[in-house]
A and B are shown apart, each in its own frame.
Chain A
């Protein structure tokens, strides 16, 4: 392999690390999960200037099928996907998974856990996690003489 190819690989690895791996380690830790499927429900995390937003996909679920709690900087989403009861019917294909689920995350220090809000609509749970104002870097004016 030529040196150029090796450098390209190194660049690609660094880029992947910066974009996908480091943020995962530094900001959010998944503490554990339980249930039939590792990634249910799926979680998207976005960061804006003054808040994080978590989008949790819970298709077909009603509000009473799950709960969201924050305790001591740990956020837990858990619930149960009720298995459809077929009366006088037979299954032809079954791909969706059912049953209990749980996902737990460690929240970054900068999140103000007192002000977390959540909204559930059309099977999508949106969690708004404000970032503490004081933890934002203060710009220091430079006096020039």
Chain B
């Protein structure tokens, strides 16, 4: 989207839409008001020797993140709280996600869960899952016959 000058009427349209949405959220799902959840984006890629999972979890404490592997399912869960020192009235705008999150992924059977490593750095959780020896691609020597 290119840079546009602020147009008050367009802003009002957007406002109307936002208010309708706020109504939807406030009235149709009153039970959700207490809890807050979000879905952190996750990348997964596979190399020759391992499977790498990267979850975007900005501004968190490692102790609030839980990583588990059970029955070949990797689960990442935790809770990110709003800054405790600031009261909610001080916020003019909150776009960052907060609240509890939970994501789970089935892992291919050839992953060695015992050797998994999880590291949280610069707001990204990186989980490295080495493949079991027998699952790694092997070069088969071609003998002359």
Contacts and interface: CB of A to CB of B under 8 A. Distances in A.
A60 B43 CA distance: 12
Contact of A46 (B41, B59, B90): B90
* Interface residues of chain B: helix, strand, loop or mixed (majority): mixed
B92 A16 contact: no
Given A42-B97, A92-B46, A24 B92 contact: yes
Contact of B123 (A43, A97, A123): A123
Contact of A88 (B6, B48, B58, B92): B48
B46 A47 contact: no
B45 A86 contact: yes
A95 B105 CA distance: 13
Interface string B84-113: 001000111111110000000100000000
A122 interface: yes
B58 A124 contact: yes
Interface residues of A, number: 49
A61 B93 contact: no
Nearest to B90: A46
Interface residues of B, number: 40
A33 B48 CA distance: 39
A142 interface: no
Contacts of A43: 93, 95-96
A89 B41 contact: no
Contacts of B18: 21
A30 to B, nearest CB: 8
Interface string B17-54: 01100100010000000000000011111111001001
Interface of B: 1-6, 11, 15, 18-19, 22, 26, 41-48, 51, 54, 56-59, 86, 90-97, 105, 121-124
Interface of A: 12-13, 16, 20-21, 23-25, 27-29, 31-34, 38-39, 42-48, 52, 55, 57-62, 84, 86, 88-97, 104, 106, 122-124
